[in-house]
Amino acid sequence: MAAEAKQSCYEGSSVQSFQFYLQQSGEHEAILQCVHSVLPGEFERIGADKKALDVLGVGSGGGEVDVQMLSLLQSLFPAVPITADIVEGSSQLTNNFKALVAKTANLQKIPFTWHVMHSGDYEKQVKAKADMKRFDFIHMIQMIYYVDDLAETIKFYHSVLKNNGRLMIILETANGGWDTLWKTFQKELCVDAITQYRSSAEVIACLKSQGLKYEEHIIHNTFDITECFDPSSTTGGRLLNFMTAKDDFHQSFTPEIRAGILDLLRNKCSTEKDGRVFFNSDLSCILVHA
């Protein structure tokens, strides 16, 4: 789970913590497998008979997944002009994204508009304009935890979809490892950037209440957290810091809470195989129809 400051506003050491987590967890690779299996068919439907395609990324981070999705869209519609608007609260990650675009030759044809701001600020800015830009494809990957009002956020982004467009929301799946950890220790963990933990269950309930049509695809992923149970392990400590959104896991909780979190991680959030402990970090990819 992206343990970001308010709405994906990674700066300084939290960027390093996030990058470390991505290396250890294989999360981006799992998301990209889903992107390449699910999105070609979706893009074919979205792009049929369109003279131009407009994409909006919300909380795009360093752009590693965006670049792949835009390249895929481009390969399916080589003659159709594409625009990309990016909303990302972290200037550091936005700069990483810009550097990635500069290194990706095929993306030079795509005009990017950068909005270095929180999702809520973008929403206010757009609503203040008379002429609202609309999009064929909007994606929100691992950022829905940080919005103030889930229902209003979904309602707003759904409202700026073009005819036949899709809103893709990727987040932790209901009853997975993250959901179990963060809901069990809600009082201790939901105190900083995330004040109310959300999984796919909350998003789906919201979509149903708004009468929106959607499909859900489960993205299976696990990663090795064996080192977390060795108090002298630097890797384990860094993973625990990220997983609990704390600068220092071992100093941030009482011995009882610390022991409770570690027990839960081992026995309720993970499976053991060949003496190693693998955390269940399944994700949900939810595709919402315009």
pLDDT in tens, 175-212: 999 999 999 999 998 887 777 789 999 999 999 999 99
Which of residues 20 and 155 earns the better pLDDT score? Answer: 155
Determine what percent of the chain is predicted with pLDDT higher than 70. 95
Burial class (CB in 10 A: 0-12, 13-18, 19+), 157: buried
For 169-189, b/e burial (b = at least 16 CB within 10 A) is bbbbbbebbbbbbbbebeebb
CA atoms of 161 and 134, how far apart (whole Å)? 5
Structure confidence by residue, pLDDT tens digits, 220-244: 999 999 999 999 999 999 999 999 9
pTM of this structure = 0.91
The domains of the chain are located at: 13-175+193-226+280-289
Report whether 126 contacts 98 (CB < 8 A).
no
Distance, in Å, from the CA atom of 135 to the CA atom of 138, rounded to the nearest integer, reads 7
The reported pLDDT for the residue numbered 195 is 72
- Tens digits of residue pLDDT in 79-132: 999 999 999 988 889 999 999 999 999 999 999 999 999 999 999 999 998 778
Contact 18, 59 (CB under 8 A): no
Q: Does residue 5 register a pLDDT over 70?
A: no
Q: How far apart are CA 274 and CA 163, in angstroms?
A: 51
pLDDT, residue 17, reads 79
Tell me if the domain spanning 13-175+193-226+280-289 has CATH number 3.40.50.150: yes
Q: What is the pLDDT of residues 41-80, one digit of tens each?
A: 999 999 999 999 999 999 998 999 999 999 999 999 999 9
- Are 229 and 263 within 8 A, CB to CB? no
